């Protein structure tokens, strides 16, 4: 396997974009809708395959598209190619606040397992497929679910994480984390789900009923703000169906309404 060799620059702090520089004829593949801007010499085309396999055929493309449906992603992957002369650039942005992680696939063993919405873009030649969790408990209670995205290649790949990113290099140690905080991990890591302490801690500790356990030899990427956690907080403070804020049925809620000038 030989991926296209692309240069890049990550721009920004909490709302980052990655700007990929392509030589003539080079291609980067990305999730549909991730493109932010591109130079005049860049052309793009939506395809069902990732372009990692030459002469894949229509059946192979349909199979790949079907696998992507299982992860909840679009069946199409957009291919951006430098069709002009000289170096050209195309930029991609993540859909919510966080950081973009640039991963040299050759340096991590060629394979990364990541949560289903983490992939942003990669050099052409990177294979984008799916992997199933090996343990039933991880499928039912893990934030990653049964199905993970699997990236395979020897070029640059870019994944998105919410909030701050922390990278761990495990050498046989065990790491216990909130299930939603996992961005991705290499193949040498065993992923399982374990109960979060005793019954009192499980129900009243606020950390959820289960924790993900990562152990083995390899690299783990974690995020401080999973998208699901951000959505939960937004929904908790959003108006209810009747147009009133949640909590207005309490004394504090009524007092807040009076202070806001709402006498209804």
Q: List all residues 6 or more positions away from 32 whose beta carbon is below 8 Å from its beta carbon.
A: 46, 74, 76, 77, 78
**Which tens digits make up the pLDDT trace of 176-200?**
988 788 999 999 999 887 776 555 5
Angle at 67 between CA 145 and CA 156, to 5 degrees: 85
Contact status, residue 204 vs residue 198, Cβ threshold 8 Å: no
Q: Would you say residue 168 has pLDDT above 90? A: yes
Q: Tell me whether residue 2 is in a domain.
A: no
Q: Tell me whether residue 83 is in a domain.
A: yes
Q: Tell me whether residue 106 is in a domain.
A: yes
Q: Tell me whether residue 78 is in a domain.
A: yes
Cβ burial, residue 18 (10 Å; 0-12/13-18/19+): buried
Q: Tell me whether residue 235 is in a domain.
A: no
Contact status, residue 100 vs residue 158, Cβ threshold 8 Å: yes
Q: Which domain holds residue 35?
A: 7-225
Please count the structural domains in the chain. 1
Q: Tell me whether residue 262 is in a domain.
A: no
Q: Tell me whether residue 263 is in a domain.
A: no
Give, in order, the Cα–Cα distances in Å from 8 to each of 18, 99, 168, 212: 7, 15, 23, 33
Residue 263 — very low, low, confident or very high, per pLDDT cuts 50/70/90? very low
**Which tens digits make up the pLDDT trace of 87-129?**
999 999 988 888 999 999 999 999 999 987 899 999 999 998 8
Given 3-state DSSP classes, what are the helix, strand and coil percentages for the chain, each rounded to the nearest 5?
20, 45, 35
Q: Tell me whether residue 233 is in a domain.
A: no
CATH number at residue 105: 3.60.160.10
> Model pTM?
0.78
Residue 13 — very low, low, confident or very high, per pLDDT cuts 50/70/90? confident
Q: Would you say residue 135 has pLDDT above 60? A: no
Q: What percent of the chain has pLDDT over 90?
A: 43
**Which tens digits make up the pLDDT trace of 51-62?**
776 565 566 555
Going by C-alpha positions, the residue among 9, 14, 17, 12 that lies closest to residue 163 is: 14
């Amino acid at each position: 396997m030989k991926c296209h060799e692309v240069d890049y620059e990550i721009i920004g702090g909490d709302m980052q974009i990655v700007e990929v520089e392509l030589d003539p004829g080079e291609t980067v593949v990305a999730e549909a809708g991730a493109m932010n801007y591109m130079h005049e010499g860049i052309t793009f085309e939506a395809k069902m395959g990732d372009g990692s396999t030459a002469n894949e055929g229509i059946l192979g493309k349909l199979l790949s598209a079907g696998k992507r449906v299982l992860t909840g992603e679009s069946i199409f992957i957009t291919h951006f190619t430098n069709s002009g002369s000289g170096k050209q650039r195309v930029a991609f942005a993540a859909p919510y606040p966080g950081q973009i992680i640039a991963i040299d696939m050759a340096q991590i063993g060629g394979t990364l397992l990541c949560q289903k919405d983490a992939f942003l873009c990669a050099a052409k030649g990177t294979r984008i497929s799916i992997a199933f969790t090996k343990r039933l408990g991880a499928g039912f209670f893990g934030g990653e679910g049964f199905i993970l995205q699997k990236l395979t290649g020897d070029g640059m790949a870019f994944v998105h994480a919410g909030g701050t990113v922390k990278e761990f290099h495990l050498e046989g140690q065990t790491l216990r984390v909130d299930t939603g905080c996992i961005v991705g991990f290499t193949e040498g890591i065993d992923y399982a789900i374990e109960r979060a302490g005793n019954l009192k801690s499980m129900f009243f500790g606020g950390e959820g009923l289960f924790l993900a356990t990562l152990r083995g030899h390899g690299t783990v990427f974690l995020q401080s703000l999973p998208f699901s956690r951000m959505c939960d907080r937004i929904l908790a403070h959003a108006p209810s169906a009747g147009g009133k804020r949640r909590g207005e049925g309490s004394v504090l809620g009524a007092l807040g309404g009076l202070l806001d000038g709402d006498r209804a």
